[in-house]
Each structure stands twice: as C-alpha cells, then as structure tokens.
C-alpha cells in the first residue's frame, strides 16, 4: 500500500488512503460523462476524517466541498501515487502550473450589477453534479453558453431576500437549478453578456487552491502560471482514472469485455 500524505485546509482535514481494487471497479461503472459524480465517489473512497487540533468541525462529505477543494485533494492523492509525482505532468505542463499558492476557501465575493448588490459563492460538488446531469440528459444542450448560465445559476444570488437554493436530493435541486438557468437564458442578450462579465470578475476574486471554471466539457482547472507568449492558458481536469494503475484498469476492462 502506498503512503499518502494527509490534507489539512481551512474546512477540510483528511487522511488519504490508496483505492481498494473493488472500489476501482465500482468507479469504472459510472458513465464517463458523469465526471463530477465519479470525483465524489472517488473522494469518498479515499478520505478518512481527521480530528482537528482546534476542535472545529471539518466537512467530511466531498459533495459539499467546492470544486476547487475537490480538485486539490484529488491532485494531492495523484501527487503521491503517480510515478512522475509529486509535480506530475498535465499535458505539456505540470501540477504546479495549476496551483494557487497561499489561498483557501472563500465563502462569498460581493459584486454589483446595474446598482444591485450580488454575491458570488464557489461552485460545490452537489451543484456541479446537478449541472452535469442537466447538460447530459437533453434538458439543456451541453454548450459553453448553457454551462456558463448554469454556473451563474448555481453560484450567483442577491444580497437580500435571496437565500441559497436548498439541497435536499438530486432531483429536487436539478429542478430548482433548471428554473434559474431558464430565467437567465430568457434575458436580453446584451444584458446577459454584461452580467456574465461582472459575474466572471467576481468569480476570479473567489478562486482558491486552483482556478476552477466551466467550459462546454464541464468543470476544468485553468493554468495559473504565465503561459507562453501568444498561447492561450491551458486547461486540465484531475480525473480519478488518471490516478489508477494501468494494470488494474486493464483488469477491469478485461472483465467488462468478457461479460459484454
């Protein structure tokens, strides 16, 4: 069994343990388009809560971690299990090209649009999972515009008389989020573009651990190191399958092929 260092953050204190072989098989049964659901189950499999020195409670369910926290803890696991760790390769870049130093969870960022005071709060696991379902079940086309509207619907609210949407179960929250997305998409296009600009600036100020955003492919991390001149910043995803040995993945694939 590989030794993996614990992670201690503002809201999270966990020991990490190596995936069990049966857990790999369970993870691989999740359809590939549900990347965030896979991340949730992966993290639940590898973490063990740690008693905090201050006695303050820690969040032990990755469903309620920000997507930034989820990426960071996944990256910490990969750092200790991958052969080229700790600063493992991500395409032409390395892990450190995606890490924001000296940052941690920020609960909200205030911003203004057309004289109204609004709040940006980070995208959390349960919200990212809901968006993934909405964008892959034909309720909404999985376009950059729809993902962006979904990001805004999940993470933006007014400062007064606009409490965060409650989460009780996936179907209930998906319906609430869909209503908010549809309202945003019904806005005049010029006003929507201006609101998106204000929202994006607030989201930039709320980034922590890694710079997380959305594209038409879902939740991604954005390069934070200086890119090569004339080249756009790279994007990456910390996928649990990338942290599993090729030998185990081949055994799972062989078993699936034999059964199918």
Q: Tell me how crowded residue 191 is: count the other CB atoms within 10 A of its CB.
A: 11
**Domain coordinates of the chain in residue numbers?**
7-103+221-259, 109-207
Burial (CB < 10 A; 0-12, 13-18, 19+), residue 122, is buried
* 128 phi/psi in degrees, rounded to 5: -65, -40
Q: What is the pLDDT of residues 9-47, one digit of tens each?
A: 999 999 999 999 999 999 999 998 999 999 999 999 999
Q: What is the pLDDT of residues 187-196, one digit of tens each?
A: 999 999 999 9
pLDDT given for residue 57 in this prediction: 73
pTM recorded for the entire structure: 0.94
């Amino acid at each position: 069994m590989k030794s993996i260092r614990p992670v201690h953050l503002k809201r999270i204190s966990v020991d990490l343990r190596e995936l069990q072989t049966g857990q790999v098989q369970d993870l691989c049964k999740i359809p590939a388009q549900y990347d965030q659901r896979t991340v949730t189950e992966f993290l639940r499999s590898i973490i063990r809560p740690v008693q905090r020195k201050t006695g303050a409670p820690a969040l032990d369910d990755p469903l309620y971690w920000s997507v930034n926290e989820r990426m960071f803890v996944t990256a910490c696991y990969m750092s200790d299990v991958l052969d080229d760790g700790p600063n493992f390769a991500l395409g032409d870049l390395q892990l450190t090209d995606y890490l924001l130093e000296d940052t941690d969870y920020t609960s909200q960022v205030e911003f203004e649009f057309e004289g109204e005071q609004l709040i940006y709060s980070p995208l959390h696991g349960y919200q990212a999972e809901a968006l993934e379902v909405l964008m892959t079940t034909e309720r909404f086309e999985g376009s950059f515009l729809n993902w962006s509207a979904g990001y805004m619907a999940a993470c933006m609210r007014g400062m007064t008389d606009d409490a965060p949407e409650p989460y009780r179960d996936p179907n209930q929250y998906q319906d609430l989020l869909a209503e908010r997305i549809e309202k945003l998409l019904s806005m005049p296009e010029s006003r929507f573009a201006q609101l998106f600009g204000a929202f994006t600036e607030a989201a930039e100020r709320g980034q922590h651990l890694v710079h997380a955003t959305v594209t038409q492919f879902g939740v991604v991390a954005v390069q934070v190191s200086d890119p090569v001149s004339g080249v756009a910043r790279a994007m990456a995803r910390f996928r649990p399958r990338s942290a599993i040995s090729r030998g185990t993945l081949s055994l799972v694939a062989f078993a699936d092929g034999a059964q199918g």
